[in-house]
Structure 1
Amino acid sequence: MTFKWIERTPTRRTFLKSAAGLSAAAMGGFPAPAIAQSSEVTVISAESNANVQEALRRIAADFEKASGTKVTVNNMDHEAHKTAIRNYLVAGAPDVCFWFSGNRMRAFVNRGLFDDISDLFEKERYADVLGATTGAVTVDGKQYGLPTGGTLWGMFYRKDVFDQNGLAVPATWDDFLAFGEKCKGAGLVPVSIGTKDLWPAAGWFDQMNLRINGLDRHFALMNGEMAYTDAALTPVFDHWEELIKQGFFTPDHTSFGWQEAGAFLAQKRAGMMNLGAFVRYAFPEEDLGQLTFAPFPTIDASLSRYEEFSLNSVHIPANAKNKAGGREFLSFFYKPENLAAYLEPAGNVPPRNDLPASKDPLVNAAVESLKTVAGTSQYYDRDTDPDMAQAGLVGFQEFMARPERRGAILERLEGTRRRIFKL
């Protein structure tokens, strides 16, 4: 087994990537794959976390021992990989590569650069254990990858702050409004947020749109099939504006990054925060036991429950030389014990529901929560065209700071949508 490191630079999205400790891969019962004639499987990953690198190294070594097939893993800098993949998928493709599911995967599927692995899906019965997350790697009824570690977005809070102030987790919109008033009465900001980096504001749009318009309409907007001036979006911005005007959010939030906003939550200055479990990195180690997850409140009780679940993924390029070997490696990598070891230390949520319980209670809470989810989106900047996403992120931040500009912002976004999607 060969492991090569190509550049190493930490990135801001490190927290959305899978991480892992030592592989606990069980070797017993793994049959020699039908790829003995193939001498090598090449893998490209983009991991900056040393534990992830070690996990992949161990899994690759275990596969090599079981199959007799050499595995070469090339690890790239995360940001450099975003550019490199556009080139190597066309020429010099590996047999396996790590990427993102959802719209970012679809862009390569539409160009014929990711292989259809529906045969592997059916053979391994992955749909039975992936449930709603199957959609993240599905295009036109076919699967083009396997989801790896995920981030379930929701409302995080400190148990001790809730206990000390007599707060209850808001289940409905009315509960949420009452929660905000109680927080303010206790001297707390109801919701901590930092929009300096733009993307945290998009989480609020996504969560409310999913609960007001549902998954299909949300994806219609993401795919450019629905106007930003559509009347269906009016109640989304009405609800959002109600929170803004009632002082729910951190004052001067455009000056803070998510880490600083997370610190406000950790310092008992705020009631809740809408983010992924990586908010843990804003907490001192001794306080992590107080951090708890809850779903975003229901707005329309008649809708099924849809959640934001950002998933990374792993794929077989259409131009791979050893597609059979790539499939054998994926099936080995995706064994519950291997995937669990790969995800555990960073607290990423497993997409499949048959993994052993995590040592992290936040992960276990997310896994339980996902069992009642009817479908998932990714996140605004993963689900739509990149240029549309950038315009949307700017617009959402502006709306949170100046809600009176709503009309102009939505007209601007609609003009961007029509230009990008060539309408």
Structure 2
Amino acid sequence: MKFLARVTIVLTVLTLASGLAFAAGQKEAASAPKKTTITWWALSQGGGGADPREALRKQIIADYQTSHPNVDINLVMLENEAFKQKVQVAVQAGNPPDIFHSWGGGVMVAYAKAGMLRDITSYVEKNIAPKIGKGPLSVYGYDGHYYGAPYDMGAVGMWYNKAIFQKAGVTVPETWDQLLSAVQRLKSAGYIPIALGAGDKWPAHFWWTYLAMRLGGEPAFKAAYDGSGSFADPTFVKAGQLLLQLRDLDPFQTGYLGATYDDEAALIGNGKAAMELMGQWAPGVQASDSSSGKGIGDDLGWFSFPAVAGGVGKNSDVLGGGNGYVIGKNAPDEALDFLNFFLSPKYDADLVKVEGVVPVVQGAESAIQGNANLEKIVNAVSKAGYFQLYYDQFLPPAVGETVKDAVVAMLAGKATPAQGAQMVQDSWKKEQGK
């Protein structure tokens, strides 16, 4: 009996111990933070080999997880075209990644309208808007709602050869009329005033777009976009008229209608032309396409597109584009927190070194100190109240192609300014009717 009593006591103790251990385990499990997984699709540099873009993003993830051990971030790096195809398939299947690359504009708006993006307006306004300018941030918004944010945003502007300007006695033009006068003086001095690769079409559409912006400002574009106005309105017709006013001065190189963008860049890089209207990437392309491989170095300058007399658009309004991320419809709150972490001055500055981005986060501009042209672009972007994404990216693809076709048709004398504007409006109406 004594033996049985002892066995009973031992079993009781073991049962109690087991119960206490189980309860402790349950309590520990209950108190342990729940794991959250985030999928992040980013663009690789392509070309194979070690990818510094991926290395930087993995480091940012590691830094974030140091203070957020309950968050797992699955990074997927994709080449540009592969990314476009893969994300389109994911969206069509109704399962977009939590964070993925975006250029903003029309494609982003289409995803938002289809319910594939998470509306993060309140989070952006509280946490991200205070450190990124209104203009670049607006590219990732639509109709008062935000779906993401940029980390890189540059401006299209006038790149010019300072040495040629000095030799021709030309000063930087601030108005359209001054630009026309500069063209005439440069021609008289024996230089090609403006290089243009209209054969690729997209470089030419910058001219018409900027003229429309200076003439009608944001209200003209919004009216055409929301249907209260039209792309055939006087603003857009007048933009074509001014473009032909420039063309009639014969400012471009011989054969510009069939020339490529590389032809355009080479003319600047080799010191043969005085100006080109191009984005922030221009210096690198000019250098690589020049015979020396170095471009024109310190002789290269930058200025904003000139003001147009009588226009309601501000000279601070900017045409441009860049890179950023949007948030998928099913993304957890942790995805927003990580995006905000990514958009820190330190990492935006690191992106300048790794990817050559034009930083948009306040404090990251220290990474481009000493580069006068980039400093001007960053300043222009940060102060832009109206930032217009390139028409061929903001508008649906079919309409964007029509814009480019219409501009080249006007330059080639195959369409009047009114006909060119109507081409765009007809394409827009057709797209809206789908």
- TM normalised by structure 2 equals 0.83
- What amino acid is aligned across from residue 62 of structure 2 in structure 1? A
The answer on whether the counterparts of 1:129 and 1:354 sit within 8 Å (CA) in structure 2 is no
The corresponding residue for 1:158 is 161
Query: SS of 1:292's equivalent?
Result: strand
More contact order relative to length (CA 8 Å, sep ≥ 6): 1
The corresponding residue for 2:375 is 364
From 171, 180, 191, give the equivalent of 1:168: 171
Deviates more, 1:290-299 or 1:219-228: 219-228
Inter-partner Cα distance in structure 2 for 1:262 and 1:418: 35
Distance 1:228 1:291, change over 3 A: same
Distance 1:219 1:312, change over 3 A: farther
From 18, 24, 35, give the equivalent of 1:38: 35
The corresponding residue for 1:111 is 114
- What amino acid is aligned across from residue 66 of structure 1 in structure 2? S
Inter-partner Cα distance in structure 1 for 2:354 and 2:194: 28
The corresponding residue for 2:85 is 83
Inter-partner Cα distance in structure 2 for 1:411 and 1:369: 32
Alignment of 1:174-323 (within 5 A): 174-222=177-225, 226-280=229-283, 281-283=285-287, 284-285=293-294, 287-300=296-309, 303-304=313-314, 305-320=316-331, 323=332
How much does 1:122 deviate? 3.4
Query: SS of 2:132's equivalent?
Result: helix
Query: SS of 1:60's equivalent?
Result: helix
Inter-partner Cα distance in structure 1 for 2:354 and 2:159: 19
How much does 1:92 deviate? 4.1
The answer on whether the counterparts of 1:136 and 1:311 sit within 8 Å (CA) in structure 2 is no
How much does 1:99 deviate? 1.2
Distance 1:328 1:373, change over 3 A: closer
Q: What RMSD over aligned residues (CA atoms) do the two structures have, in Å?
A: 2.3
How much does 1:125 deviate? 4.8
How much does 1:224 deviate? 5.5
The corresponding residue for 1:32 is none
The corresponding residue for 1:65 is 66
Inter-partner Cα distance in structure 1 for 2:225 and 2:203: 17
Inter-partner Cα distance in structure 1 for 2:152 and 2:128: 19
How much does 1:292 deviate? 1.8
Query: SS of 1:285's equivalent?
Result: coil
- What amino acid is aligned across from residue 155 of structure 2 in structure 1? L
Alignment of 1:347-362 (within 5 A): 347-359=356-368, 360-362=371-373
1:130 matched to 2:141? The reply is: no
The corresponding residue for 1:17 is none
Distance 1:187 1:53, change over 3 A: farther
1:146 matched to 2:149? The reply is: yes
How much does 1:204 deviate? 0.7
Inter-partner Cα distance in structure 1 for 2:160 and 2:170: 10
The corresponding residue for 2:395 is 384
The corresponding residue for 2:386 is 375
The corresponding residue for 2:411 is 400
Inter-partner Cα distance in structure 1 for 2:365 and 2:428: 43
The corresponding residue for 1:21 is none
Deviations 1:75-116 (A, max 9, x none): 112112212212213444322111121222111111111111
The answer on whether the counterparts of 1:223 and 1:385 sit within 8 Å (CA) in structure 2 is no
Deviations 1:377-413 (A, max 9, x none): 0001112121111122112112112266445444443
Inter-partner Cα distance in structure 1 for 2:263 and 2:295: 18
Q: Gaps spanning 5+ residues in structure 2: where?
A: 1-31, 288-292
The corresponding residue for 2:16 is none
The answer on whether the counterparts of 2:157 and 2:305 sit within 8 Å (CA) in structure 1 is yes
How much does 1:186 deviate? 1.5
Deviates more, 1:43-52 or 1:241-250: 43-52
- What amino acid is aligned across from residue 68 of structure 2 in structure 1? S
The answer on whether the counterparts of 2:217 and 2:312 sit within 8 Å (CA) in structure 1 is no
- TM normalised by structure 1 equals 0.85
Distance 1:141 1:417, change over 3 A: closer
- What amino acid is aligned across from residue 41 of structure 2 in structure 1? I
Deviates more, 1:218-227 or 1:339-348: 218-227
Inter-partner Cα distance in structure 1 for 2:148 and 2:161: 36
Inter-partner Cα distance in structure 1 for 2:401 and 2:380: 30
How much does 1:40 deviate? 2.8
The answer on whether the counterparts of 1:348 and 1:363 sit within 8 Å (CA) in structure 2 is no
Inter-partner Cα distance in structure 2 for 1:375 and 1:412: 25
The answer on whether the counterparts of 1:61 and 1:71 sit within 8 Å (CA) in structure 2 is no
The answer on whether the counterparts of 2:154 and 2:358 sit within 8 Å (CA) in structure 1 is yes
- What amino acid is aligned across from residue 378 of structure 2 in structure 1? V
Structure exhibiting the larger radius of gyration computed from Cα positions:
2
Deviations 1:240-287 (A, max 9, x none): 110011112222113221121011011111111000121112213363
1:342 matched to 2:351? The reply is: yes
User: Where is the helix percentage greater, Structure 1 or Structure 2?
Assistant: 2
The corresponding residue for 2:10 is none
From 339, 361, 369, give the equivalent of 1:330: 339
Inter-partner Cα distance in structure 2 for 1:347 and 1:165: 33
Identical aligned residues as a percent = 20
Q: Gaps spanning 5+ residues in structure 1: where?
A: 1-34
The answer on whether the counterparts of 1:38 and 1:325 sit within 8 Å (CA) in structure 2 is no
Query: SS of 1:86's equivalent?
Result: helix
Inter-partner Cα distance in structure 1 for 2:124 and 2:425: 38
